[in-house]
Chains A and B, each alone.
Chain A
Amino acid sequence: MTTVPVSHVLFVAAILFSLGVVGLLVRRNVIFMLVAIEVMLNATGLAFVGAGSRWGQPDGQVMFLFILAMAAAEVSVGLALVLQLYERRKSLDSDRADTLKG
């Protein structure tokens, strides 16, 4: 039974990561930006699991669990910030939250 080459897994992970980067840079809606960050975290997790499966070791999966915990914490704080932003600016456009700009 043939296995998937690890380079192909990393290639798919790279494609997904670049799609996340493009989404983060192109969209100005903060909810879409958070989703794009999740896409990127997911792609890194795919790279970890692919590498772990290449060596048949559980370490890649353990790293994915840490990424999962980090993503959960990040998205809860991020969405609370989105709610606060909408309450204050009445908009989800990230360019509206530029009062810190020098």
Chain B
Amino acid sequence: MNALFYLASAVAVIATLLVISRSHPVHALLYFVVSLFAVAVMFFTLGAPFVAALEVVVYAGAIIVLFVFVVMLLNLGPATAGERARILSPRTWTGPAILAAILAVELAVIFARGGGAVGAVAVPPKQVGLALFGPYLLGVEMASMLLLAGLVGAYHLGRRGKGGES
């Protein structure tokens, strides 16, 4: 079953290579989503199903949406007028679609074999939660304060500056 891990890592490396070489931000973000999915499959094969789910939910679901919103807000002027036709052309989405199809096949193989973690010994979410709210409780509190600071900082910076502040 190691083949699943190596195939996913190959997909991750190829997708990341394309992330840093695309010129259009949205194309790069598409490949970045595929790269995150590939890393999630790698987590699953390493026996970390909880973290694999969080990778998809938080990284691919929340952080990428932030990036897409910022690209949308910036809306780089008349240069992007003809973008919509180009973004919907098959040339743009074939690459990410092929890489994502490889990952979908891997997922189907995993579920066909019973759905459990393959390869390594699985560490279930219960154990992770016990460690998180046991010995690492102080770290959780610090992470919550960090997130609060990030929220306040992003609100302060993102405000449209008018008058003295800006």
Contacts and interface: CB of A to CB of B under 8 A. Distances in A.
Contacts of A70: 143, 146
Contacts of A35: 19-20, 28-29, 32, 67
Interface string B23-45: 00100110010011001001101
Interface of B: 1-2, 5-6, 9, 12-13, 16-17, 19-20, 25, 28-29, 32, 35-36, 39, 42-43, 45-48, 50-51, 54-55, 58-59, 62-63, 66-67, 70-71, 73-74, 76, 118-121, 123, 127-128, 130-132, 136, 139, 143, 146-147, 149-151, 153-154, 157-158, 160-161
B46 A56 contact: no
A16 B150 contact: no
B67 A77 contact: no
A12 B46 CA distance: 13
A31 B51 contact: no
A83 interface: yes
A92 B35 CA distance: 24
B29 to A, nearest CB: 7
Chain A interface mostly: helix
A58 B123 contact: yes
Interface size class of A (residues with CB under 8 A): 35 or more
B13 A76 contact: no
A62 B63 contact: no
A50 to B, nearest CB: 6
Given A12-B42, A80-B157, A92-B74, A62 B128 contact: yes
